[in-house]
Amino acid sequence: MKLSIIVPIYNEEKIIPELHRRIIKSAEVITDDYEIIFVNDGSKDNSIFQLQSIASSHKKSFYINFSRNFGHQIAVSAGLDNCKGDAVVIIDGDLQDPPELIPELYKKHKEGFEVVYAKRENREGESLFKKISAKFFYRTLSSLTSIDIPLDTGDFRLIDKKIVECLKQMPEKNKFLRGQISWIGFNQTAVYFNRDKRKYGKSGYPLSKMLSFAIDGITSFSDKPLTFVTRTGIFLSFFSLLI
Interacting residues with ligand UDP (CB under 6 A): 8-10, 12, 41, 69, 71-72, 75, 92-94, 96, 203-205
The binding site for Mg ion (CB under 5 A) comprises 94, 96
Minimum CB distance to ligand UDP, residue 18 (Å): 13
The entry of ligand UDP, Mg ion, none near residue 8 (CB within 5 to 8 angstroms by kind) is ligand UDP
Minimum CB distance to Mg ion, residue 201 (Å): 9
8 Å CB contact between 72 and 204: yes
The entry of ligand UDP, Mg ion, none near residue 205 (CB within 5 to 8 angstroms by kind) is ligand UDP
* Shorter beta-carbon distance to ligand UDP: residue 72 or 175: 72
Minimum CB distance to ligand UDP, residue 16 (Å): 10
* Shorter beta-carbon distance to ligand UDP: residue 71 or 85: 71
Distance CA 162, CA 188 (A): 13
Residue with nearest beta carbon to ligand UDP:
204
Q: Residue 223 — φ and ψ, nearest 5°?
A: -80, -25
Q: Residue 14 — φ and ψ, nearest 5°?
A: -75, -25
Does an H or E element contain 47, and which? helix 47-57
* Shorter beta-carbon distance to ligand UDP: residue 41 or 160: 41
DSSP 115-179: EEEEEEEEETT--HHHHHHHHHHHHHHHHH-SS-PPTTEEEEEEEEHHHHHHHHH---SS--HHH
Greatest distance between any 2 Cα atoms in the chain: 78
Whole-Å CA distances, 159 to 109, 114, 164: 8, 6, 7
Whole-Å CA distances, 54 to 13, 63, 126: 12, 9, 30
* Shorter beta-carbon distance to Mg ion: residue 94 or 155: 94
The entry of Mg ion, ligand UDP, none near residue 51 (CB within 5 to 8 angstroms by kind) is none
Minimum CB distance to ligand UDP, residue 10 (Å): 3
Minimum CB distance to ligand UDP, residue 28 (Å): 22
